[in-house]
Structures are given as structure tokens and as C-alpha cells.
Amino acid sequence: MELLRLLALTGIVAIAAILSACGGGGGNSVTDTLSSSDRTIILSDENSELHKSECGTVEKPLRIMPLGDSITESTVGHSSYRKHLYDLLTENGCVVDFVGSRHGVSDGVVHSRERLLQTTDFDQDHEGHWGFRADQILLYISEWAHKNVPDLALVHLGTNDIFQSQSVDSTLAEMEEVINELRLANPKVRILLAQIIPSSRARNEIESFNKRIPELANSLSTAESPVRVVDQFHEFFVSSDTFDNIHPNDSGELKMASRWFNAIMEIWFA
């Protein structure tokens, strides 16, 4: 099935217009911050309707688990990359069900209460946990995965591990076990594994960690349960794409969403 990389002025422009009206993204439009690699793939061949029907149906939506820490969960005043991703997926014909034990965004502390965003057009379920390391996710992932049984997991983990001086080897080993637990719940789960976004706090350490992600993905990927790398690091700028040097702002959220979307299209229709 042919997938064409096009400049998707559909979902991107619509979202950018909303953000601009709300004062988000600073002086430049959000689309100005997106490189060509960040712009979305759209389904554009004679079988596009067939592609869309395979991207979830009302009877069987595509179950997606956004999995990670506060970068996945986000906090009050921000909608998270998940909102933009949901918009891109639904605008391009996918019927999706975001799954997880958490809902909305965080108060900004570990184990904080959940705050739902004031919107009815966004599935706010997820598995992002403020402040969690990979080993903490590993403690609970079996329960979460068996309860929610994702078809696809979007994994962005490692930031807190690096901040708390955990070794790269131990973090990668824990991430491997997280993926193994996801497979116990669904042997055919597809995994998108992020090279995590940068931070001014530990940029060199994050860059070193990210260099190991392709090796982990290649070692775990199978025909039945493929693992693909999603580069969330390069062309993501701490100064303009975060609100606190760690967490994405509107521009950063949209960049992340676009990259996840491209990867979902590729792994689902490969």
C-alpha cells in the first residue's frame, strides 16, 4: 500500500489556527516551527478509503496506549501531544480509542489527582505518569496492559531515569521488560519507541541515551510485534518547544503529535 509524504495542511493548519487564536506558540505560527519531516503523512492513493477502514472502525477502534511520564501526561494549562494526535488521527479517518488508567492531565506532582480538559472531542485516557521512571512503570504495566489491551503503544520513557542518575543499561533493561509485559497482554501489540525529547537539564545524557534506542528496538522487533523508533529528539528545540525546559508547549506538543502520527501510519500500513 502506497503512503505519500505530503505537507498536510489539513489537520496541521486547523490546529495552528486554533492555537494562534488562543495566543499559543509565540509570535510565529505553529506551522513555522515544523520541518518537512514533522509534517504529517496523509493517505492519498486509490485505496485510501480501504486504508482508513483498517485504521480502526466503530465496531473495533484502534486501541492506542500513550505510555510514559509527565511528557505524556502533561499538566494544567496544556493539552498534551495526545490532543493534537487524536485530532490528526480522527481528521484523517481513523477511529481510535486511547486507553490507560489515567485521564486528562496532572496537577504537576507524582500521583497527583487527574484534571480533565474542558473538551468533549478528545479521548483523554492514557498511561502517562508524572515523575515516573521506567522501573516504576514496570511495577504496574502488567495490570494496566491486561486491563486495557492496546493494539499499539507509544512509549516515551527515560527522562526521569536520566534526571535521577539511573544507568542507561538498567533503564533500557526495564524498558525491555515493559515491552515484554505489553506482549503478554497482546502478543501482536505494535510498539513505537521514542528517542526522547531534549532538555537543557541533561541534554548530553539524553543524547547518549537516545543513541541506544535503535539497538533496543532492533533487538526486540518481531514480525508479529514490530518495534519502531520515533525520533522525537532532533529538530525539537528546548528554547521554543518547551514551557519549562522539560515539558512541551503548544509547539512542542504539535511536533510530537505529528511525529507519532507519521510513525503510526507507517507501522500500521507497512
Nearest-angstrom CA–CA distance, 237 and 81: 15
pLDDT at 15: 39
pLDDT at 38: 65
Q: Residue 184 is which amino acid?
A: L
> Looking at domain 54-268, what is its CATH homologous superfamily?
SGNH hydrolase (3.40.50.1110)
Q: Residue 74 is which amino acid?
A: S
Q: Are 91 and 49 in contact (CB under 8 A)?
A: no
| Ranges under pLDDT 50 in the chain | 1-33, 42-53
Reported pTM: 0.81
Contacts of 180 (CB under 8 A, 6+ apart): none
pLDDT at 66: 98
pLDDT at 76: 66
Axis-axis angle for helices 11-21, 250-268 (nearest 10): 160
- Find, among 263, 208, 261, 269, the residue nearest to 91 by Cα: 261
Q: Are 261 and 85 in contact (CB under 8 A)?
A: yes
- Compute how many other C-beta atoms are within 10 angstroms of the C-beta atom of residue 119: 9
What is the domain partition of the chain in residue ranges? Answer: 54-268
